[in-house]
Amino acid sequence: QKEVEQNSGPLSVPEGAIASLNCTYSDRGSQSFFWYRQYSGKSPELIMSIYSNGDKEDGRFTAQLNKASQYVSLLIRDSQPSDSATYLCASYSGAGSYQLTFGKGTKLSVIP
């Protein structure tokens, strides 16, 4: 069964620090990866997508992908209390896939 695994947390970091969120996946055929942010009681919001090995930066967010290790991460620099949320990792499994497989999410708390 294709799985996306995340540490459920909570992950607590002080304001201004770097938050590092990690995700592993079981399907070597996975080609694309997405990070969603979900505030409590709200819907998932897409914040980053990454398709190639290496880093992709967008503002304070950096997504990192290592397909050999089947590992994807999200770094949040200069963490703010407003970043406190659950972060969901998701991937499509293989070419032609339409089904996103989601991890259970990591809850991040940024302490002022």
Partner 1 sequence: DAGVIQSPRHEVTEMGQEVTLRCKPISGHNSLFWYRQTMMRGLELLIYFNNNVPIDDSGMPEDRFSAKMPNASFSTLKIQPSEPRDSAVYFCASSFGAGNSYNEQFFGPGTRLTVL
Q: Name which of 62 and 105 has its Cβ closer to partner 1.
A: 105
Site for partner 1 in 72-91 (CB under 8 A): 88
Neighbours of 44 (CB within 10 A): 18
User: What residues are paired with 14 via a beta bridge?
Assistant: 111
Q: Which of 37, 76, 83, 105 binds partner 1 (CB under 8 A)?
A: 105
For the chain, strand residue ranges (E) read: 4-6, 11-14, 19-25, 32-38, 45-50, 54-58, 61-66, 71-76, 85-92, 100-102, 106-111
Q: Name which of 15 and 28 has its Cβ closer to partner 1.
A: 28
Least distance (Å) from partner 1 to the CB of residue 81? 23
Q: Are 21 and 74 in contact (CB under 8 A)?
A: yes
User: By CB under 8 A, is residue 40 in contact with partner 1?
Assistant: no
- In this structure, which amino acid lies at residue 80? Q
Q: Which stretch binds partner 1 (CB under 8 A): 12-20, 56-64, 74-82, 94-102?
A: 94-102
Site residues (vs partner 1, CB under 8 A): 31-32, 34, 36, 42-46, 49, 51, 88, 92, 94-100, 102-105
